[in-house]
Amino acid sequence: MAELLAVCRVYVLHPDPGTVGVTAIDKRPVEGRVKVRPYGLYADVQADRANHGGLDQAVYAYAQEDADHWSAELGREVTPGLFGENLRVSGLDVNGAVIGERWQVGSALLEVTQPRTPCQTFGRRLGEQRWVRRFTQANRTGAYLRVIENGELGAGDTVDVVHHPLHGVTVADWFGAQYGLARAAVGAGAGAGPAGADAADADAPAANPTEPESLEELAQRLLNAHAAGEIRLSVDMHRRSEQAAARAVVD
């Protein structure tokens, strides 16, 4: 059973040399139940709403299983909120979530919109060499979600997948196709897809008997699902999908 382990909100804004001048990436767990509204958690802050916020990126979720992988890699604990996530979950393969998949968490209904694309602010936050590159290559991005129904949630709530779109394009499929990456094998609990793999092998190419689909093919599947009303692509995902599909036509 998937569980919400921690709910994290901004602790303090830090100066940042990026274009916005400050960052809200320093998020830490809070006690009790937290209201969820269209722009995310109550009392949270989106310092860079253009790139890491807005309605389509209102909430960021990261799996404990992926955090455990990084704890082993980095030799230090990846505590809830360290990656700037709002929700730390367990028993759910977040990277294997299908774009448009819906989660019931407490009384809030959330919808997976896209993977997280790491930036230099994230790199400065971690202070690890070549962090953006390492995070990208691991294809363990976590997922952004939009708020479909306002509600409240708190640590200990179950995370129930209540809607699973048929197009089948996952967060990791899309991110991996953009960067030519293999799908990481993630231990996310029984029945959660390619679970139970040794974390030390997670960055190795995943065994797959079939050739992974190209970005252009995935983009067309997403656009078809969007046009059919099966999903509602985020503005960013729609733009990227149209660009990829257009390249396929030109080629």
The predicted pLDDT at position 250 comes to 62
Contact assessment for residue 194 and residue 186, using Cβ atoms and an 8 Å cutoff: yes
The predicted pLDDT at position 251 comes to 57
Give the global pTM: 0.87
The predicted pLDDT at position 192 comes to 39
CA distance 44 to 24: 9
Tokens coding 142: 């976590």
Q: List per-residue pLDDT tens for the chain, 251 residues long.
A: 999 999 999 988 888 887 778 888 889 999 999 999 999 999 998 766 666 679 999 999 999 999 999 999 999 999 999 999 999 999 999 999 999 999 999 999 999 999 999 999 999 999 999 999 999 999 999 999 999 999 999 999 999 999 999 999 999 999 999 999 876 655 444 333 333 333 333 333 344 445 678 999 999 999 999 999 999 999 999 999 999 999 876 65
The predicted pLDDT at position 53 comes to 73
The predicted pLDDT at position 211 comes to 66
